[in-house]
Amino acid sequence: MELQERNERLFYKFLIDNVEELLPVVYTPTVGEACQKYGSIFKRPQGLYISSKEKGNILEVLKNWPERTIQAIVVTDGEQISGLGDLGCQGMGIPVGKLSLYTAHGGLCPSVLLKDEFYIGLRQSRANGKCRDAICNDP
């Protein structure tokens, strides 16, 4: 993660070129141990935490994310992390690891997926503006 923080391009190039060796480090089984120790190895926030206290204000919390162009989101409730049980906030290692792999090896943006013959979602543009706000603010 230190390499990713210092030089993101080098991190992903290294991950792509060495996926077989690094997969167990970036994800299973190492991610489980990292999640168990997340509090002691925590350096800076990664991801966005939304607690039950934000009920009714999730859209406002999401607006705090610094990027405006989002291509992928991984969501977890921190429960049953890699068979380790409820790790709460310390489960953030799972979505962080998954997004690293998706970024390095996914190679597809969501708009390309809509054209894939095996895509199982709705074949329509993502909800945005008032439509998305109505969905996010639905009680």
Where in the sequence numbering do the catalytic residues fall?
27, 98
CA dihedral sign of residues 30, 33, 35, 38 = negative
Q: What span, in angstroms and rounded, lies between the C-alpha atoms of 87 and 128?
A: 32
76 close to 95: Cβ distance less than 8 angstroms: yes
Burial classification of residue 113, based on how many CB atoms lie within 10 Å of its CB (0-12 exposed, 13-18 middle, 19 or more buried): middle
CA 62 to chain centre: 13
Q: What is the longest distance spanned by two Cα atoms in the chain? A: 46
CA dihedral sign of residues 111, 112, 114, 120 = negative
